[in-house]
Amino acid sequence: MRLKDERKAIVEYGKKMITANLTTGSGGNLSVYNRAENLVAIKPSGVDYFEMKPADVVVVSLDGQIVEGDLQPSSEIRFHLALLQHRQDINAVVHTHQVYATTIACMNWELPAVHYLVGFSGNKVPLAKYATFGSQELSDEILAAIGSYNACLMANHGIVTVGKDIGSAFATAEELELVSRLYYQAKCIGEPVILSDKEMETIGEKFQTYGQRK
């Protein structure tokens, strides 16, 4: 089986998306890029995360051709492949419909630095303009908005996060759901105080040395 480890990771993190309340049903999607083989493992379209098996995960080339797998790849394959080709540091893409981040996206707002954990994305989470799911237009809007950030809100749709591996992309989605909830709750009370770009630059530097270093 091609990309065995990557396909197993899609199954594992797909279940985590449900248990972490980042999506519902078969919504959202994930992909992992194996640069050595120049192939991508991506969730099949419309398959329940708890019924999905590694063999169900589709392996595609960067131009979207199916290399291995009997099912159709995610309807959002366009923006997955575009993001994986956009930057050399992106090896995984996670797209969810998590409630609080999607609430902010439905307001057509960016997510500002209301809490330092927005640093998982950068100094904010930018917003991509609305376009129909699965369309080339949506892929173009996401690519235009995300730039060097690790996340992008999708207007009236959800959020997409990227990372060096699927674990980091997933962690970014989780942390930004917390920040989105804090922003929502703060807006219910009044106008939240936003951290400065200078402070977020400091946060970004500190994030580089956070945790256990090998």
Tallying the residues shown for the chain, one arrives at 214
Q: Is 174 a catalytic residue?
A: no
**CA-based Rg of the chain, rounded to a whole angstrom?**
17
Candidates 51, 68, 76, 191; catalytic one: 76
Of 67, 65, 60, 68, nearest to 29 (Cα)? Answer: 60
Calpha distance 138→73 (Å, rounded) = 17
End-to-end CA distance of the chain: 31
CA–CA separation, 18 vs 30, rounded Å? 13
Rounded Cα gap, residues 103 and 184, in angstroms: 8
Could you tell me the two tokens for 20? 């972490």
Cβ partners under 8 Å of residue 143, min gap 6? 79, 82, 83, 86
Which active-site residues does the annotation give? 76
